Structure 1
Amino acid sequence: MKLFIFLLALFGSTLAAQTTHTWYYTAGWVTANPDGEFEREVAGFNNTWPLPILRVKKGDRVQLYLTNGFPHHNTTLHFHGLFQNGSAQMDGPEMVTQCPIPPGETFLYNFTVPDQVGTYWYHSHTQGQYGDGMRAAFIIEDDEPVPFEYDEEVVLTVGEWYHETSDQLLPKFLDLYNPTGAEPIPDNLLFNDTHNGVWEVKPNTTYFLRIVNVGRFVSQYLYMDDHDFTVVEVDGIYVKPNVTDMIYITTAQRYGVLVTTKDDTSKNYAFMSAFDTDMLDVIPKTLELNNTNTISYSPDNAKPEEFFVDDYDYLDDFYLEPLEKEALLDEPDHIIEVTVEMNNLGNGVNYAFFNNITYTKPKTPTLLTALASDPEIVANELIYGTNTHSIVVQHMDTVDIVLNNLDTGKHPFHLHGHVFQLIHRGDSVPDDESPVAFDYDDHPDFPAYPVRRDTVYVKEQSNIVLRFRADNPGVWFFHCHIEWHLDQGLALTLIEAPEQLNADPRQKLTENHKDICTKAGMSWNGNAAGNTKNFLDLTGQNVQHKPLPAGFTARGIVALVFSCIAAFLGLASIAYYGMSDIADVEARVARDLDVDLLDVDNEQVDSEIIEESSNERRKNSL
């Protein structure tokens, strides 16, 4: 009896400690001018922008009602870095764990905050929207004191900004006339959603600065004039304090740092954020590569001048040590080896691939297929489609993701539903050398207590190895967090512990979720092809475009495109000359077609010479 009373009291105190946060937000377009240079539509909440910073404590309940106020776009919401134990349908990526929310409809994100603390963020997981501004920090606090001392907390978001919306940029990016897949170049860098921002500080104060890269593309270097960062957290994991004067932060990564200010208030200092220019195909002369923000001790002081560094010598997060040590997990039960490559398909567009598969959305969200499947076939990868790159992993397996990067650029990769151990990262390989793949028989020793993150970058033409325990049944997206590359298909889907997922009553699809699918015109109980009767029948599934004809390359497509343009202009010129009374018309035509007239009478140009020269030029251009 006493034990029962004790347990009842304990249960009651737990319920009393839990807070339910109920938020009502309508997503829609808002006019704003973040960098002070161009006013445009941004994706906001409740007719305001930026979005609010959301704060909870571990164990709290979140009930966020998201109404889609966009007139012509679907929407979704992802709480980046949260495990969503038992609530996989609340994870957010469109057509992975949920049907998109159509205009005018409301979806309830209802989940318990997991046993996590630290710096996270939330953002739309529908194409282009978080790049248009639908993102903000999500902070999980703890009743227990943090393992370091500070006086005040500050949230800092960084990212790049475009003057054009995603609706304007995407068609030009995923286009035949961009066959090399060159990403759109940003117009500016943002610092707390403004350009050349100001951080007002007090003297002799230690700040806990929560830094989140909410950008869609470019990694940034962060450094300060005569101040240091002491790194104490990465992606929600506390680490042993590490002092550095420069941080390299990719999109979706978070750093918790301590910054102690000076006693003297007579000077303001520069807080620099700089593009990783290696990620830009071209650098316009008008692009400001260094954003000079201000650490302001007094508004009466002069603004700081741009602060330069000799080279970008930044902290290597691979060597950070978590405070809560987790030993290197056992040898893997399941190795997922993928190769990253960018290439063109038969429509001429440049796509991104894992092992020659570019992710193509199914007709039923993958999680919903798992929940609707018979237990006998739920672990059959076929029912999830051939172009979702779905991989089944068994409950409590140790899993290695071995990622070999054939691309000449860096990529930040994010795994939903987990943090992973980063157990290996290879050095970058120059463009003029061959890419280097990971070799289990020839590599440096793995760290005894690896750093844990949910987003980590792979270097140019190099490799990484990520290890995690499959202890969270669900459907989890693994993808590049450069949004342009996700748009190109650089993603795969993990079907984790499908039998346990399928049998867990907590995972049962909500009626609101079913209703959203119906109103979106989508199946909530079918396979990847939307087939609700025979899950092994994939007739009509979405698949990637057919490959290019043998021998075609991106360079060949460029040549073809410009040859077509040249041919069009040539025909236009001939038509124009033919219809106009122009002096020396024959000489001008011959000149445009690159015909040598030294031995040709100006009164008559040999048509055979013109035709032969024109054919030769077309042949050379291809």
Structure 2
Amino acid sequence: MVPDRMIATSSCRSAWLAAVAALLLSLCPSFGLAETTVKDFRVGWVLANPDGAFDRPTIGINGQWPIPQLTATVGDRMILNVHNDLGNASTSLHFHGFFQNGTNYMDGAVGVTQCAIPPGSSFTYDIVFEQPGTYWYHSHSGGQYMDGLRGAIVVHDPAGPYEGKYDKEIVLSISDWYHELSVDLIDQLINVENPTGAEPVPQAALINDTQNLSIPVMPDTTYLIRFVNIGGFAAQYIWFEGHSMRVVEVDGVWTEPADADMLYITPAQRYSVLLTTRSDTSANFALVSAMDEGLFDVIPEGQNSNVTAWLVYDATKPLPAPQPVNELEAFDDFDLVPVDGLAIFDHVDHSFSLEVQMDNLRDGANYAFFNDMTYVQPKVPSLYTALSVGGTNASSPIVYGSHTNTHVFKHNDVIELILNNGDDGRHPFHLHGHNFQVVHRSDEDGGIYIPDDLAASEFPRVPMRRDTVFVEGNGNFVIRFRADNPGVWLFHCHIEWHMDQGLVATFVEAPEALQALQVPESHLEACRAAGKPTAGNAAGNIKDVFDLKGENKPPGRLPEGFTAKGYVALFFSTVAALMGMAVITWYGLIDPNVKDRGAEHQPLISEDNE
């Protein structure tokens, strides 16, 4: 028999454990709901034809495309084993919008927080879903998400401000689609034969990676509709005919409701809206998404920049053609107010400017620049440099390379970034590891931002926050964020072509605090498999971390006075000269007898024709 004293002790212990468990659950409502899932993704080539033109090679997962949407609840954990079956290309995955606080090595940016995963190798991402909202994941290597390696992520929040205020949820991705592989398009873009840097124009727009999508809806029902632009170039205007929207989330930040008829969503941006359907089910309604053709240098003949889907109330009723609109006038996100009420960071510890420019280098190709510097990926991922050169040395921008545009921030400082766009096109800029306050954004042709007391007094008291914001052509914006996430984070244009051209900067945040980070050994194995160094400065130099001899570099600068037009003229003049020399050489090599025989057969000019 078990003594009564032991039963009593056991009962007391059980009661105590139950009380502790109840306390933990009360402190963390999602504690009991958190799940850990293990997924295996084999990344490989498949054939796909989303716009009905023809099958083309596309990057899928586990033999399927579109790739799976990831869905989780706040607190869930995902262990994701990625195996590269591409055979002819390395890859990676970036979880766009996730802060990765304390796990900088899971950010997925090749050359920054990891080496690319070589063909035949594997890599494990361990992700805890700490942020509610709408996100996405995509390759951060060689423009591969343009080839299909891109998908939505939804993180539900049982304690969110809009829980119980909608009945159903719909996730809609919008994207652009190309008929050629990104690697070939990048070669065409950064090429002496394209000295003006004209970006490749997509052949089609897609919704949920298809066209002519039908979305069944119920009458008198409120839907939370999550939009994700997973495209690589085109921003898109999007609207529902016969319905209005209330914006409630941008880039993972819940906002106070704001009415909108039309949204403008750049690559990498996300919106959630509440839409209440009609009572009448006698008709169906078009959902239209139109690519911003203002971004395109040339509109190809036969180009269709629109894609239509339908809210289907009754599948037996026709799907109406969309109605023409007089102008594309979208909702302005600048005035959105976050639900959490986070006030503007009114004390700035460090302010700096980035100037955007597009220009040519000595190879005749067009590149993109921040502060007259075009980004070139270092030989050692910048995070590995920060961890291997030591705390004091890690605070020096020099060790990260001459062409990584590195800025070092102190822990918990408030950072103000002023961006001036010297280009006449819109650019969406994304910051890894943070969302930021958008405290100012100019109109088109707003010129260079000049700080003054008057401008500061006009900043919003509770600014809109997001992780991707666009700047107008020849305009500017000002953003602020707190450097509370030790790590190495990219800031870059999320037009893939511009990132490939070098419109990238590196932010090294709290390098001293970062030293405690331990990169998983399996991550370093990906570098070894690819023959890449994992320690030292940007050039892989361990002995003298300030010696950058052998680092990766861009082509040299143009001679003074050369312009893109000059290069066009030089290129075609050179081609003409070479063709002329070739003809002369060919003619000179012909047998003289052949020449004479040819002369015998030439028609004579008669005296009447002289």
Q: Shared fold (TM-score greater than 0.5)?
A: yes
Aligned residue in 1 for 2:263: 247
1:162-561 equivalences in 2 (<5 Å): 162-429=178-445, 436-441=447-452, 443=455, 445-502=458-515, 504=516, 507-561=517-571
Q: For residues 411-464 of structure 1, what are the alpha-carbon distances to aligned partners after superposition, in whole Å with 9 as ceiling and x for unaligned?
A: 0000000000000001101xxxxx611111153611000000000000010100
Structure 2 counterpart SS, 1:131: helix
Q: For residues 102-160 of structure 1, what are the alpha-carbon distances to aligned partners after superposition, in whole Å with 9 as ceiling and x for unaligned?
A: 1111101013222x101000001001110100010111112225426111101000010
Structure 2 counterpart SS, 1:292: strand
The one-letter code sitting in structure 2 at the alignment partner of 1:552 is F
Query: What's the CA shift for 1:330?
Result: 2.5
Structure 2 counterpart SS, 1:443: helix
Answer yes or no: is the 8 Å Cα contact 2:419–2:478 preserved in 1. Answer: yes
Structure 1 counterpart SS, 2:188: helix
Q: Aligned equivalents of 1:462 and 1:415: distance in 2? A: 19
Q: Aligned equivalents of 1:29 and 1:64: distance in 2? A: 19
Structure 1 counterpart SS, 2:185: helix
Query: What's the CA shift for 1:562?
Result: 1.6
Aligned residue in 1 for 2:53: 37
Query: What's the CA shift for 1:378?
Result: 1.7
Q: Aligned equivalents of 2:21 and 2:542: distance in 1? A: 45
Answer yes or no: is the 8 Å Cα contact 1:352–1:485 preserved in 2. Answer: yes
Answer yes or no: is the 8 Å Cα contact 1:272–1:307 preserved in 2. Answer: no
1:6-25 equivalences in 2 (<5 Å): 10=23, 16-25=32-41
Structure 1 counterpart SS, 2:175: strand
Q: Aligned equivalents of 1:469 and 1:346: distance in 2? A: 39
Aligned residue in 2 for 1:593: none
Structure 2 counterpart SS, 1:478: strand
Answer yes or no: is the 8 Å Cα contact 2:355–2:419 preserved in 1. Answer: yes
Q: Aligned equivalents of 1:468 and 1:75: distance in 2? A: 30
The one-letter code sitting in structure 1 at the alignment partner of 2:491 is F
Aligned residue in 2 for 1:139: 154
Answer yes or no: is the 8 Å Cα contact 2:389–2:542 preserved in 1. Answer: no
Q: Aligned equivalents of 1:11 and 1:515: distance in 2? A: 39
Structure 1 counterpart SS, 2:566: helix
Answer yes or no: is the 8 Å Cα contact 1:292–1:307 preserved in 2. Answer: no
Change (3 A) 1:222 1:585: farther
Answer yes or no: is the 8 Å Cα contact 1:269–1:304 preserved in 2. Answer: yes
Q: Aligned equivalents of 1:143 and 1:528: distance in 2? A: 44
Answer yes or no: is the 8 Å Cα contact 2:71–2:154 preserved in 1. Answer: yes
1:55 paired to 2:55: no
TM-score, length-scaled by structure 1 = 0.89
Answer yes or no: is the 8 Å Cα contact 2:262–2:329 preserved in 1. Answer: yes
Change (3 A) 1:295 1:385: same
Q: For residues 228-262 of structure 1, what are the alpha-carbon distances to aligned partners after superposition, in whole Å with 9 as ceiling and x for unaligned?
A: 11111100111111111100000000000111111
Q: For residues 75-105 of structure 1, what are the alpha-carbon distances to aligned partners after superposition, in whole Å with 9 as ceiling and x for unaligned?
A: 0100000000100000000010011111111
Q: Aligned equivalents of 1:247 and 1:213: distance in 2? A: 11
Equivalent of 1:124 in 114, 120, 139: 139
Q: Aligned equivalents of 2:512 and 2:483: distance in 1? A: 13
Change (3 A) 1:551 1:151: same
Q: For residues 238-290 of structure 1, what are the alpha-carbon distances to aligned partners after superposition, in whole Å with 9 as ceiling and x for unaligned?
A: 11111111000000000001111112222121111101111000001211122
The one-letter code sitting in structure 2 at the alignment partner of 1:392 is V
Structure 1 counterpart SS, 2:506: strand
1:100 paired to 2:116: yes
Change (3 A) 1:7 1:74: same
Q: Aligned equivalents of 2:401 and 2:576: distance in 1? A: 42
Q: Aligned equivalents of 1:11 and 1:209: distance in 2? A: 33
Q: Aligned equivalents of 1:392 and 1:428: distance in 2? A: 31
Q: Aligned equivalents of 2:47 and 2:599: distance in 1? A: 52
Change (3 A) 1:12 1:443: closer
Q: Which moved more, 1:516-525 or 1:156-165?
A: 516-525
Change (3 A) 1:286 1:61: same
Query: What's the CA shift for 1:167?
Result: 2.3
Change (3 A) 1:438 1:587: farther
Query: What's the CA shift for 1:386?
Result: 1.2
Equivalent of 1:91 in 93, 100, 107: 107
The one-letter code sitting in structure 2 at the alignment partner of 1:526 is G
Answer yes or no: is the 8 Å Cα contact 2:173–2:227 preserved in 1. Answer: yes
Long gaps (5+) in structure 2 = 1-11
* RMSD over aligned Cα atoms: 2.4
Change (3 A) 1:400 1:7: farther
Q: Aligned equivalents of 1:228 and 1:585: distance in 2? A: 77
Q: Aligned equivalents of 1:80 and 1:377: distance in 2? A: 29
Query: What's the CA shift for 1:472?
Result: 0.6
Q: Aligned equivalents of 1:97 and 1:9: distance in 2? A: 39
Query: What's the CA shift for 1:43?
Result: 0.7
Change (3 A) 1:563 1:325: same
Query: What's the CA shift for 1:303?
Result: 2.0
Aligned residue in 1 for 2:127: 111
1:563 paired to 2:603: no
Answer yes or no: is the 8 Å Cα contact 1:220–1:273 preserved in 2. Answer: yes
Q: For residues 148-185 of structure 1, what are the alpha-carbon distances to aligned partners after superposition, in whole Å with 9 as ceiling and x for unaligned?
A: 61111010000100011112211111111000100001
Q: Which moved more, 1:323-332 or 1:447-456?
A: 323-332
The number of residue pairs the alignment matches comes to 582
Q: Which moved more, 1:266-275 or 1:157-166?
A: 266-275
Aligned residue in 1 for 2:176: 160
Aligned residue in 1 for 2:6: none
Q: Aligned equivalents of 1:587 and 1:339: distance in 2? A: 67
Q: Which moved more, 1:369-378 or 1:480-489?
A: 369-378
1:72 paired to 2:88: yes
Q: Aligned equivalents of 1:587 and 1:535: distance in 2? A: 78
Long gaps (5+) in structure 1 = 430-434, 589-600, 604-622
Q: Aligned equivalents of 1:224 and 1:285: distance in 2? A: 27
Change (3 A) 1:8 1:281: same
Answer yes or no: is the 8 Å Cα contact 1:154–1:209 preserved in 2. Answer: yes
Answer yes or no: is the 8 Å Cα contact 2:204–2:306 preserved in 1. Answer: no
Structure 2 counterpart SS, 1:130: helix
The one-letter code sitting in structure 1 at the alignment partner of 2:177 is W
Structure 1 counterpart SS, 2:238: strand
Query: What's the CA shift for 1:9?
Result: 6.0
% identical aligned pairs:
46
The one-letter code sitting in structure 1 at the alignment partner of 2:239 is Y
Answer yes or no: is the 8 Å Cα contact 1:359–1:492 preserved in 2. Answer: yes
Q: For residues 452-485 of structure 1, what are the alpha-carbon distances to aligned partners after superposition, in whole Å with 9 as ceiling and x for unaligned?
A: 0000000010100010001111110000000000
Q: Aligned equivalents of 2:324 and 2:159: distance in 1? A: 40
Structure 1 counterpart SS, 2:146: coil
